[in-house]
């Protein structure tokens, strides 16, 4: 399929480009063993991330005014620390631990695939992460974005329509010239309904060994692939 | 001087990073000779750019609501075409000509210097150009930005304070950890007054051979340099 009409690829980040769960587990065991002894890091990562959807929904439904993800992550961290019985962590340590979201590593194919895609397309995250999180994460993980698109710019979280349409408008492109890339069908379905092109990247290990997502049908989206390298190959870059 | 406290360099773009005048003259002679015969391209470039400050001031003073630079450039182009007696240019050609602002080339030191600075700092434009202009320009000119900051994000044009403070806030940094880099003293003076660090890059040819800017005193800003490569050397990157 010729994809010369697509000018920009905008990518979900947490889970699609970076391995948040594995990164938190690794950092927890390596850096936090002394200050947070006895923590079950896979359970901690899952509990922290499990508060993500509900926290964003408080903003999306108007229960909270616009609140960026650094602040939501911190609120979610406080609840998670309480859940795990942690008390006495210093403010500096909490800030540092909360910044683990800036220190996530890419899946092995992410940076190599993105470098190839960048040769022909504008590549950007379109994430619920803040601009600061995404910018620092890109430098940490070597992600070669052309620019940073964050839903923060629109004061709406995905899957609100303002985020997908705002991204296209900011790039001065019609929605049909923008392709949403994500490992999550809800994200892609919202983008597709607004006229964006879509690519699904299968990430079976995102939520750990016991929560493998169901792979959608091959014709559910414009592309259904297993990696950014495969997406680059399918797009001929 | 140690600059470990500076985390991000935000750079004026038109004139500081890219040679708008030389680029428009070159493209005019190479691509527009048939459709726009007899145009004095240096004069055309100066006349078009001469309408830049006044057009932005109409927005800054509230005479116009927020209007992005693609639209202002087009309004300025219409007036410039009229001034030069051009009639009958097609809509498609006007769009294409207006997009010359996305096809500006960097000064020879810009990309090499920025690549060095990128190793230690977050580097971004902080320009009155739109996100779309700056993103496309970066790909055209090979500018290795980490992310794109445009005053469009704040619905204010420089030198309004909202732009400098907005950039620092979006990076989640205090103003003193952000350095404004520009070839224009007004831009730097505004940033300095708000607590940002400042670096002046001398661009004697920006406005052509008859309009060389006065070089400020060496202690007027944190750095006064002749190129991005020199700035990288001074910052030890």
- In this prediction, residues A64-81 reach a mean pLDDT of 97
Segments of A114-185 assigned E as strands: 122-127, 149-150, 178-182
pLDDT band for A4, please (50, 70, 90 cuts).
confident
Give residues 13 to 72 of A whose Cβ lies within 8 Å of B: 70
A150 to each of A134, A146, B63, how far by Cα in Å?
8, 13, 31
pLDDT in tens, A122-180: 999 999 999 999 999 999 999 999 999 999 999 999 999 999 999 999 999 999 999 99
Domains of chain A: 8-19+104-234 (3.40.50.1000), 20-102 (1.10.150.240)
Please list the residues that pair with A200 across neighbouring strands: A182, A224
Tell me the two tokens of residue A81.
């620390």
pLDDT tens-digit readout, A164-201? 999 999 999 999 999 999 999 999 999 999 999 999 99
Q: Which of A12, A18, A56 is nearest to A155 (CA)?
A: A56
Is the pLDDT confidence value at A121 over 80? yes
The minimal CB distance from B147 to the residues A70, A147, A173 is found for: A147
Kindly tell me if the per-residue pLDDT of A1 is higher than 60.
no
How many angstroms separate the CA of residue A122 from the nearest CA in chain B?
Answer: 8
Query: What token pair was written down for B235?
Result: 């910052």
Give B173's contacts in chain A (Cβ within 8 Å): 132
Question: CB of B131 within 8 Å of any CB in chain A?
Answer: yes
CA B13 – CA B10 distance, rounded (Å): 9
CB contact B145 to A (< 8 Å): yes
Rounded to a whole number of angstroms, the distance from the CA of B181 to the nearest CA of chain A is 19
Partner-chain residue, chosen from B130, B134, B146, that has the shortest CB–CB distance to A139: B146
What Å distances lie between residue A222 and A1, A180, A182, CA to CA?
A: 10, 10, 12
pLDDT tens string B206-220:
999 888 999 999 999
Show residues of chain B in contact with A148, CB under 8 Å: 146-148
* pLDDT > 70? residue B196: yes
Whether B172 and A145 lie within 8 Å, measured CB to CB: no
- On whether any CB of chain B is under 8 Å from the CB of A138, the answer is yes
Averaged pLDDT for residues A12-31: 98
B172 and A148 in contact by Cβ < 8 A?
no
Residue B2: which pLDDT band, with cuts at 50, 70 and 90?
A: low
Please report residues of A whose CB lies closer than 8 A to that of B147: 131, 134-135, 138, 145, 147-148
Q: Touching check for A119 and chain B: CB below 8 Å?
A: no
Name the A residues in 172-201 with CB < 8 Å from any B CB.
172-173
Residue A49 has pLDDT above 90, yes or no: yes
Tokens of B89: 């240019």
Place of tokens 């594995």: A22
> What's the average model confidence in pLDDT over A53-72?
95
Contacts with A184 (C-beta within 8 Å, 6 or more apart), sequence order: A12, A15, A16
Q: Is the CB of A171 inside 8 Å of chain B's CB atoms?
A: yes
Residue A45 to residue A80: CA distance in whole angstroms: 9
Q: What is the pLDDT of residues B90-135, one digit of tens each?
A: 999 999 999 999 999 999 999 999 999 999 999 999 999 999 999 9
Residue B205: pLDDT above 90?
yes
| Sheet arrangement for strand B122-127 | B149-150, B122-127, B8-11, B178-182, B197-201, B223-225
Q: What pLDDT is stored for residue A2 in this prediction?
A: 58
pLDDT value for A211: 87
The answer to whether B142 and B114 are in contact (CB under 8 A) is no
**Closest approach of chain A CAs to the CA of B91, in angstroms?**
17
Residue from the list B131, B170, B171 with its beta carbon closest to the beta carbon of A170: B131
Q: Percentage of chain A with pLDDT > 90?
A: 96
For residue A201, what pLDDT is reported? 98
As a whole number, mean pLDDT of residues A33-54 equals 96
B119 touches chain A (CB under 8 A): no
Contact A135 B70 (CB under 8 A): no
What is the pLDDT at residue A31? 96
Task: Read off the pLDDT of residues B10-68 as tens digits, 9 standing for 90 and up.
Answer: 999 999 999 999 999 999 999 999 999 999 999 999 999 999 999 999 999 999 999 99
Query: Which of A131, A139, A173 lies at the smallest CB-CB distance from B170?
Result: A131
Q: Report yes or no: B132 at the A interface, CB cutoff 8 Å.
A: yes
């Amino acid at each position: 399929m010729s994809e010369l009409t697509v000018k920009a690829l905008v990518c979900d980040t947490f889970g699609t480009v970076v391995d948040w769960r594995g990164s938190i587990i690794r950092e927890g065991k390596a850096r936090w063993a002394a200050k947070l002894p006895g923590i079950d890091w896979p359970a901690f990562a899952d509990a922290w991330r499990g508060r993500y959807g509900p926290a964003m929904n408080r903003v999306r439904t108007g229960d909270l005014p616009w609140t960026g993800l650094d602040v939501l992550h911190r609120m979610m961290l406080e609840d998670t620390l309480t859940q795990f019985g942690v008390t006495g962590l210093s403010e500096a340590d909490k800030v540092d631990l909360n910044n683990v979201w800036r220190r996530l590593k890419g899946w092995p194919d992410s940076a190599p695939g993105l470098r190839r895609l960048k040769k022909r397309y504008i590549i950007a995250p379109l994430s619920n992460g803040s601009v600061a999180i995404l910018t620092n994460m890109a430098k940490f993980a070597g992600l070669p974005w052309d620019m940073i698109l964050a839903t923060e710019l629109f004061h709406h979280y995905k899957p609100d329509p303002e985020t997908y349409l705002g991204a296209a408008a900011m790039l001065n492109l019609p929605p049909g010239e923008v392709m949403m890339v994500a490992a999550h069908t809800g994200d892609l379905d919202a983008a597709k309904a607004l006229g964006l092109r879509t690519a699904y990247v299968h990430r079976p290990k995102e939520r750990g060994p016991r929560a493998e997502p169901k792979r959608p049908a091959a014709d559910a989206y414009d592309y259904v692939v297993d990696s950014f390298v495969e997406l680059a190959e399918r797009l001929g870059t």
